[in-house]
Amino acid sequence: MLLKSRTSEETKRLPTLLKCFSDPQWTERIMDDALSSLSTRQSQARLLEDRISAFTLAIDKQQKRLTDIKQYGMRHFWYKICGHLESRLKKGEMIRLQNVEKTKEAKEYLIVVNNEIRLAEKQLQILQNAYEQYAKTKQILEQKLS
């Protein structure tokens, strides 16, 4: 079964390899696409990291607000006298939980993007190695023919 799956994988890769060896411009175009994809993913990862830090700051700020309201002080007594203490605490906790969920989703998506970055880097490395091999082979062939 392992041999059969390996054979099918290699059979799928064969047209790509043949195209790579027969048309070096195709390899260059694919490398350019891989580079642009990699840079796009890296910028996406940076934006996600910025979003995560913004959400974390919002969580900390909301936690501080909740702590200030819960502690006995002017705000606590004011909201308690007006009858808004419980609703204010619930609302603050809801906002904090929403930010926690957003942070969790952003972290999960960041993991996916980082995996895509690693795959794109591997692909780019394979393409660069293939192109270097092509260039070396072409140079050796030209030297032998000259």
pLDDT at 105 over 80: yes
pLDDT at 121 over 50: yes
Q: pLDDT-derived band of residue 1, with 50, 70 and 90 as boundaries?
A: very low
Q: For the segment 33-66, what is each residue's pLDDT rounded down to a tens digit?
A: 878 888 888 999 999 999 999 989 988 888 888 7
Cα 82 to chain centroid, rounded: 47
- Averaged pLDDT, 3-15: 62
Q: What is the pLDDT of residue 63?
A: 83
pLDDT at 4 over 70: no
The CA distances from residue 114 to 43, 82, 102, 122, in Å, are: 11, 49, 18, 12
Quote the pTM value: 0.62
Q: What is the pLDDT of residue 24?
A: 62
Query: How far is Cα 79 from Cα 127, in angstroms, rounded to an integer?
Result: 65
More confident residue, 14 or 81: 81
Name the percent of the chain lying above pLDDT 70. 75
Q: Which of 18-27, 42-51, 90-99 has the lowest mean pLDDT?
A: 18-27
